[in-house]
Structure 1
Amino acid sequence: MKILYAASEAQPVAASGGLADVAGSLPKALVEEGHEACVVVPLYVNTIKQQWRDQMTYVTNFSVPVGWRNQYCGLFTAKINNVTYYFLDNEYYFKRDFGLYGYYDDAERYAFFSRAVLEMLKVIDFKPQIINSNDWQCALIPVYYSIFYRNDEKLWGIKNVFTIHNIQYQGRYGMEILEDVLGIPKHFASLMEYDRDINLMKAAIEVADKVTTVSPTYSKEILDPWFSHGLDRALSDKQYKTCGFLNGIDTDMYNPATDPSIPANFTVSKKAGKKICTQKLLEEVGLPQGEEPVLGMVSRLVEHKGFDLVKCVFDDIINLGYKVVILGSGEAQYEQFFHEMRWKYPDRVAFTCGYIPDLAKKIYAGANMFLMPSKSEPCGLAQMISLRYGTIPIVRKTGGLADSIVDCGDENGTGYTFQSYNAHDMLYAVKRAKDCYWNKTEWNKLVTRAMKADFSWKQSAKLYIGLYKELAGEQ
């Protein structure tokens, strides 16, 4: 199979969230299975580090139609983790000072990128059977293909897969940008329109050959208005072409036996290093040593991650005897709350505002439990990473959390779950975890099961390959 994986970010070159992990790991797994998978991303001038810039080679340049004008696009390539990466360069769009997204002209920036991906295929010696586009930033790729490129002799026969990582962000804009910015003729307005706005994700759902989500449960949840952020009507009409595959994690990047970011390495058969990681974590965040269980959280501090539940019963969690280590940033109310809790419980609570990758790894490795009480969670990777490091997840049964964590009420359990979005149901799961923690024989068995859980990309990649082959007419 020949697959082009189009994303607005990808590890290890540019990342702001879980999409980058998937875009860096799935193509790598596809290559390991013997397929030719390439990744295409924007060349973010101030984000991509020099070590990756030094590996790039210039291929060519070409013009890209953007609305009523043509824009320059430079094409660079590099081989990273045995995967061919293509980088699309235009400094007007992708040389920005802060972050990848959130600019006034994001619609134009990613309209350029989407059209450039298709124009690129005319000038390189690679014709994919499948283009897998991801989230709203790449939603225009299947749309442009359907409108402008379907009958192009160089691109004829390509199938389009569109993957929804987070349905909350849909690419909604006013109808006035249809022609001047997106370059889409007025007679296609009904394709782009949804609830009197342009909705890029809705348009991609309409025209893609297949729509995937990042977990089986999430693919069903988004048919419900509670989860869909308004897109349930569009998805209900397209159920026949929608499915969900659970993401995996890069087990080389997240490997407690070899990870250089953690104070001591350990394995499922030799766990002594886990205790050292706990001691060093407490030391680094300024909490006293002790035998109390350490509860970790690494997350964006936003409501849909369940932090309103945490606020409601935080004092109760401390009273159960936990030490809590939090890393994250987001809404001011939650940042302020955790600053206050750090002052209120100086020997029990540590809070670092922001995101520090090395500290995140140390929390995964050094905590005993990891809390994810999400209101919605398309897939979630943190629970899989914490399992890999022998840290027991406490999660709400939603999206990928429901698909990846088996409750310890089952003999094959790997974590603690709760069903309803309720603070005291969450608190009861936290209490169950603490009770097991003090039964060292049972806790050691649980940690062993957790570390043996397989969430490598190998299984997920096979599901994607099956889908790609079905679309391409191969067996």
Structure 2
Amino acid sequence: MNILYTASEALPYIASGGLADVAGSLPAAINAEGHDCRVVIPYYSQIRQELKDELTYLTNFTVPVAWRNQYCGVFVGHQNGVTYYLLDNEYYFARNGLYGFYDDAERYIFFSRAVLELLHYIDFKPNVINANDWQTALVPVYYDIFYRYQSGYEDIKTVFTIHNIQYQGQYGLEIINDLMGIPLYHTDLLSYDGDVNFMKAAIEVSDKVTTVSPSYAWEILDPWYSHGLDRILVHKQYKLCGFLNGIDQEVYNPATDPNIPKHYSVKSKAGKAVCKQKLLEELGMEPGDEPIIGIVTRFVSHKGLDLIKYVFEDIIRLGYKFAILGSGEKIYEDFFSEMHYRYPDRVGLTLGFVPELSKRIYAGADMFLMPSQSEPCGLAQMIALRYGTIPIVRETGGLRDSIHDAGDEGGNGFTFKTYNAHDMLDACTRARVYYDDKKRWKKLVDLAMKQDFSWKRSAQLYIGLYNDIH
């Protein structure tokens, strides 16, 4: 089967979040199952030069953006057994950053239309096009309106994947004619609550809508999680499903990771104790056997940082130390800075994001705290398990699907249900009791490191979906 996977970012070329991990790993896993999945992303000027040097120029064409025609160059790259098409237009993509510009609507209208125009110029006809998030939400929309009955475009099915429903591509109705170039009689398809909504339109026309975990698929039917899209999702829920993302188990492998001070594995875990002491040393904390809680996150409220703030010192009094890495809203940066100042021997803090340090925290910490208010999938808890670091999570989205409480049979972490600081504190207390029982703790770490969150399972689920609709 031929699949065209289109996204606004993909590793190894460019990344700002979890979407790039998915677009960089899932197509390779699908190809490993005997299919041909190719990826289309924009050619951003911020792509590293060594990766640009490996690209081959293919062709160029013009893309209709309402009343104007814009240049589009096509470059081809090959990474990890996957063919990547990078679409070039310097006016739109030669910028200092990926998103957040005044003309983001126009940039991704151009890109969505260019993805479909590309099929005229490459020797590849997809059976399925899988678009991701609002930036490529117009791909299935344009296909439905303009391309479905064109020669060479017959019988292509479309899938739209929601990674984060908070960002929907909402703009004024005036762009329908001026930028999108779509006849005004399609206004009802494109509009939602008085605005153009890219994501809503994709939900309307796609053959299937997926999310990045089974729990998130039913959570977004609830107004608490849906950011206003619950009405259309409830109406279209017959086409909605969720598949849990995976992680690259070779990239995140404590037996080979070059960024940690000592390698270890499920059969020989002595290196983890070395990683712990080196982490304490790196973060300027006193050596010791007290449990370390790792936190690697963006400092934003929906990550549950309000809960951490409320009982942080209670957790310290349980005998924990903290290894914290992240940046974001000033209120949280100031709070963690104050805690670091107040407890310098118990709180190690690094503001910003240092990928190498994140690996050392995964390897050196004993527990990993993720009390998210909402979490579509979450990868950090899976990475933590891979490194034998036990997650403490709130049961929401992908956290619910991947982490089960150690109090239950086969549990691989500690969970709490309600968005309540003292429920989180109780989970931390239970984790401390487990930690002090070395026999039970070793058994739990063994179980954690044997968990399989590879992309193979996710790929098989997506392939099953593609077969169902084609």
Q: TM-score, normalised by structure 1?
A: 0.98
Cα offsets for 1:451-470 (capped at 9, x unmatched): 00100011111110000011
In the other structure, the counterpart of 1:68 is: 67
In the other structure, the counterpart of 1:119 is: 117
Alpha-carbon contact 1:122-1:155 (below 8 Å) kept = no
In the other structure, the counterpart of 1:349 is: 347
One-letter identity of the residue aligned with 1:80: Q
In the other structure, the counterpart of 2:17 is: 17
The structural deviation recorded for 1:329 is 1.2
In structure 2, C-alpha distance between the alignment counterparts of 1:213 and 1:226, rounded to whole Å: 16
Cα offsets for 1:301-344 (capped at 9, x unmatched): 11111011111111111111111111111111111111111111
In the other structure, the counterpart of 1:3 is: 3
In structure 2, C-alpha distance between the alignment counterparts of 1:38 and 1:364, rounded to whole Å: 32
In the other structure, the counterpart of 1:36 is: 36
In structure 2, C-alpha distance between the alignment counterparts of 1:172 and 1:178, rounded to whole Å: 12
In the other structure, the counterpart of 1:244 is: 242
In structure 1, C-alpha distance between the alignment counterparts of 2:220 and 2:177, rounded to whole Å: 30
The equivalences for 1:167-246 within 5 A come to 167-246=165-244
Of 99, 102, 105, the match for 1:101: 99
What SS does the corresponding residue of 1:327 show, helix, strand or coil? strand
In structure 1, C-alpha distance between the alignment counterparts of 2:91 and 2:380, rounded to whole Å: 35
In the other structure, the counterpart of 1:454 is: 452
The equivalences for 1:328-343 within 5 A come to 328-343=326-341
Cα offsets for 1:399-449 (capped at 9, x unmatched): 010000110011311000000000000010011111111111110000000
What SS does the corresponding residue of 1:144 show, helix, strand or coil? helix
In structure 2, C-alpha distance between the alignment counterparts of 1:8 and 1:284, rounded to whole Å: 36
The structural deviation recorded for 1:216 is 0.5
Matched, 1:468 2:466: yes
Which stretches of structure 1, 4 residues or longer, exceed 6 Å deviation after superposition? none
The equivalences for 1:294-309 within 5 A come to 294-309=292-307
In structure 2, C-alpha distance between the alignment counterparts of 1:263 and 1:178, rounded to whole Å: 55
RMSD (Å), alpha carbons: 0.8
Matched, 1:378 2:359: no
Cα offsets for 1:108-130 (capped at 9, x unmatched): 11111101100011100011101
Cα offsets for 1:129-171 (capped at 9, x unmatched): 0110000001000011011111111111110000000101111
One-letter identity of the residue aligned with 1:53: K
One-letter identity of the residue aligned with 1:57: T
**Equivalent residues, number:** 470
In the other structure, the counterpart of 1:54 is: 53
In structure 1, C-alpha distance between the alignment counterparts of 2:256 and 2:111, rounded to whole Å: 37
Alpha-carbon contact 1:159-1:471 (below 8 Å) kept = yes
In structure 2, C-alpha distance between the alignment counterparts of 1:445 and 1:343, rounded to whole Å: 36
In the other structure, the counterpart of 1:402 is: 400
In structure 1, C-alpha distance between the alignment counterparts of 2:66 and 2:343, rounded to whole Å: 56
After TM superposition, the structure 1 stretch with the greater mean CA deviation from structure 2, 159-168 or 327-336, is 327-336
The structural deviation recorded for 1:378 is 0.5
Alpha-carbon contact 1:297-1:370 (below 8 Å) kept = yes
State the identity %: 67
Q: Structure 1 stretches of 5 or more lacking a match?
A: none
In structure 2, C-alpha distance between the alignment counterparts of 1:321 and 1:181, rounded to whole Å: 58
The structural deviation recorded for 1:105 is 0.7
In structure 2, C-alpha distance between the alignment counterparts of 1:431 and 1:357, rounded to whole Å: 29
Q: Structure 2 stretches of 5 or more lacking a match?
A: none
In structure 2, C-alpha distance between the alignment counterparts of 1:199 and 1:416, rounded to whole Å: 38
One-letter identity of the residue aligned with 1:165: H
One-letter identity of the residue aligned with 2:64: P
In structure 1, C-alpha distance between the alignment counterparts of 2:111 and 2:277, rounded to whole Å: 47
One-letter identity of the residue aligned with 1:29: A
What SS does the corresponding residue of 1:175 show, helix, strand or coil? coil
In structure 2, C-alpha distance between the alignment counterparts of 1:108 and 1:211, rounded to whole Å: 24
What SS does the corresponding residue of 1:24 show, helix, strand or coil? helix
The structural deviation recorded for 1:291 is 0.7
In the other structure, the counterpart of 2:387 is: 389
The structural deviation recorded for 1:246 is 0.6
One-letter identity of the residue aligned with 2:73: G
Q: TM-score, normalised by structure 2?
A: 0.99
One-letter identity of the residue aligned with 1:67: A
Cα offsets for 1:362-390 (capped at 9, x unmatched): 11111110000001111100000000000
